[in-house]
């Protein structure tokens, strides 16, 4: 089944404890992206990747890191999480990064930082 | 002022009713408009994608764009309990070329409840 998977689905952690949220897609997509979703604010892009080893900042990149060493994986790293990073996170992928390609979303990771 | 405004709801209607969901936007240069559906505990999925003004129909769903009013709508006919979800509108700003990364501008979503 073609899909985007994220792990973990739920995570509660404490301020300053480094964490990684994994994202993997099995559709051979070039483009991958991370979003956070907060009540009343909609989805905001954190980072995106047009292809392997090509990443760039989105709207809200502060406090996050990403890497794209393989086409299928795009992990999101929080080096020192803070409570304002408590949110619902979505990974998405599309065949390519232009507007003619539909983005497919993962199921989400709900992160709570205490 | 947000670039895209969307009433968060919830909007509760009886099964079989016609539903109208709306978004307004401030940037008259937007040309690509989308509606996503998001079920509880799931990621958004693309429902409708329209370019410029006019209507687009797909089964029970109709997307309408009125660029003169900077207003887009999604109509659902013969609504079903399975249509209960949050509906998000999204738009693409015309800041980059067609082949480059595009950044979606999202509404906050309207929660829709269809009562059996």
At A19-71, the pLDDT tens digits run 999 999 999 999 999 999 998 888 999 999 999 999 999 999 999 999 999 99
Q: How many CB atoms lie within 10 A of CB A87?
A: 21
Find tokens 């709306």 and name the residue. Answer: B22
B43: its two tokens = 């990621």
CA–CA dist B69, A10 (Å, integer) = 41
Task: Find the mean pLDDT for residues B86-115.
Answer: 82
Residue B92: pLDDT band (50, 70, 90) is confident
Inter-residue contact A74 to A50 (CB < 8 Å)? no
B35: its two tokens = 């509606």
Up-side HSE of residue A114: CA atoms within 13 Å toward CB?
4
Q: Please give the residue of chain A at the shortest CA–CA distance from B37.
A: A105
Interface of B with A (CB under 8 A): 4, 6, 8, 32, 41-46, 49, 88, 90, 92, 98-104, 106-109
Provide the pLDDT for residue B96: 55
Return the closest-CA partner of residue B23 out of B116, B85, B110, B98.
B110
Helix (H, G, I), strand (E, B) or coil at A64: coil
- pLDDT of B48 > 60? The answer is yes
Q: What are phi and psi of A102, to 5 degrees?
A: -70, 140
Provide the pLDDT for residue A93: 95
Do A43 and B42 make contact, defined as CB atoms within 8 angstroms? no
Residue B97: pLDDT band (50, 70, 90) is low
Do B104 and A50 make contact, defined as CB atoms within 8 angstroms? no
Task: Find the mean pLDDT for residues A66-87.
Answer: 97
Establish if A10 touches chain B: CB-CB under 8 angstroms: no
Instruction: Give A44 to chain B, closest Cα distance, Å.
Output: 8
A27: its two tokens = 């559709």
Do A103 and B109 make contact, defined as CB atoms within 8 angstroms? no
Q: Which of A24-28, B2-6, B7-11 holds the top average pLDDT?
A: A24-28
Kindly state the DSSP code that residue B53 receives in the 8-state scheme. Answer: S
Residue B52: pLDDT band (50, 70, 90) is confident
CA–CA dist B39, A54 (Å, integer) = 31
């Amino acid at each position: 089944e073609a899909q985007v998977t994220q792990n973990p689905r739920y995570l509660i952690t404490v301020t300053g404890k480094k964490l990684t949220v994994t994202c993997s897609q099995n559709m051979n997509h070039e483009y991958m992206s991370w979003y956070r979703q907060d009540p009343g604010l909609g989805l905001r892009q954190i980072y995106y990747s047009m292809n392997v080893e090509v990443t760039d900042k989105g709207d809200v990149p502060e406090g996050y890191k990403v890497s794209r060493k393989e086409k299928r994986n795009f992990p999101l790293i929080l080096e020192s999480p803070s409570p304002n990073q408590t949110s619902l996170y979505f990974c998405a992928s599309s065949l390519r990064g232009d507007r003619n390609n539909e983005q497919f979303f993962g199921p989400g990771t709900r992160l709570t930082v205490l | 002022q947000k670039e895209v405004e969307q009433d968060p709801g919830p909007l509760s209607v009886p099964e079989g009713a016609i539903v109208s969901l709306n978004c307004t936007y401030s940037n008259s240069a937007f040309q690509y408009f989308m509606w996503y559906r998001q079920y509880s505990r799931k990621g958004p999925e693309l429902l409708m994608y329209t370019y410029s003004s006019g209507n687009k129909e797909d089964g029970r769903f109709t997307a309408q764009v009125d660029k003169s009013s900077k207003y887009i709508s999604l109509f659902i006919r013969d609504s079903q309990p399975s249509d209960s979800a949050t509906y998000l509108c999204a738009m693409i700003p015309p800041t980059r070329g067609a082949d480059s990364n595009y950044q979606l501008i999202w509404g906050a979503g309207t929660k829709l409840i269809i009562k059996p």
